Structure 1
Amino acid sequence: MSPFFRRGSGRVTPEQAHRLVADGQAVLLDVRETQEWNAGHAPGALHLPLTRLMAGAPLPTAVRGRRVVAICRSGNRSRTAADFLAAVGVEATDVTGGMTAWARQGLPVTGVNGSGGVIA
């Protein structure tokens, strides 16, 4: 198991998350609500709001069997998501500072139509 993926306790920086996803070592799962996602998200991220995850919605097919890096706006919901996923056997971590830190580090953000996005 990678040192980044501890069952519910590991956290990564935005740069580490970007690298893990770019290298194919993990899938980025955005757990923000739909209006936040539509405003701007990391290219290639998958979307499943925390409210739906906690209500029992299945993970997107592309996530199943893969390591997951959860992300939200500031890092609070994604930490909850990573803990929840780890409790059900998924290797998961989350991004410290969330999409706010991601954008602040100059990492790409796209809107729902592929245009430049913002963090809402």
Structure 2
Amino acid sequence: MSLGDLIIRLCDAGFGAFEAARRLLCQRRVKTITTSDLQSAMTSRETSPVLVDVRSDSEHAVSRIPGAITQQEYKAGSEELAGRRVVAYCTVGGRSYLFARKLVAGGVDAVNYRDSILGWCRAGLPLESPDGKATNDVHPYWRIFHVPDEYEVRTNASQDAQSGL
């Protein structure tokens, strides 16, 4: 098992334990959504969820899951998005859990896409650049996180360009 995979497992266990403690305190549950369920929801004839990328500017400047908006875009348009399920994602599910938890506490139908962009890539699904064009570039937050070979790891756009990556 790689260090990246170990970190992902520890995050999953930690947030699972944290969520169990919250339920004991009778706080609203933050549900999760799987990659296959998210993909189905995005292609459904019903109203698709609002997919919110809560990663840093440098991460979503490289790529995103198609149709995703940034956390800032969500906040700016939250009134017109009201009533739609929000699916938050990041790299491994930690930052998105915290964002979804905040929304759930405020009464929003929000879930955490715990597999996040790494799970999306590991399923071989497409990414898009910020301008909506198909890309295989992905920012995995840290290079220790495994990304399938069909994707190009980009952690610092200017540094990658200088090094020929």
Deviation at 1:8, TM superposition (A): 4.0
Equivalents in 2 of 1:117, 1:74: separation in Å? 18
| 1:1-120 matches, cutoff 5 A | 7-23=28-44, 24-48=47-71, 57-60=75-78, 63-113=81-131, 114-120=133-139
Q: Which amino acid aligns with 1:87?
A: A
Q: CA RMSD in A?
A: 2.2
Equivalents in 2 of 1:60, 1:118: separation in Å? 29
Q: TM-score, normalised by structure 2?
A: 0.58
Equivalents in 2 of 1:34, 1:117: separation in Å? 18
State the structure with bigger RCO (CA 8 A, min sep 6), 1 or 2. 1
Q: Which amino acid aligns with 1:37?
A: H
Return the index of the structure with the highest Cα Rg.
2
Does the 8 A contact of 2:126 with 2:134 survive in 1? no
How many aligned positions are there? 109
Deviation at 1:62, TM superposition (A): 5.1
Q: TM-score, normalised by structure 1?
A: 0.78
**SS at the partner of 1:39?**
coil
Equivalents in 2 of 1:46, 1:61: separation in Å? 15
- Alpha carbons of structure 1 residues 10 and 70: separation in structure 2 relative to 1, 3 Å: same
Equivalents in 2 of 1:111, 1:8: separation in Å? 33
Question: Relative to total residues, which structure has the larger helix share, 1 or 2?
Answer: 2
Question: Where do 5+ consecutive residues of structure 1 fail to align?
Answer: 1-6
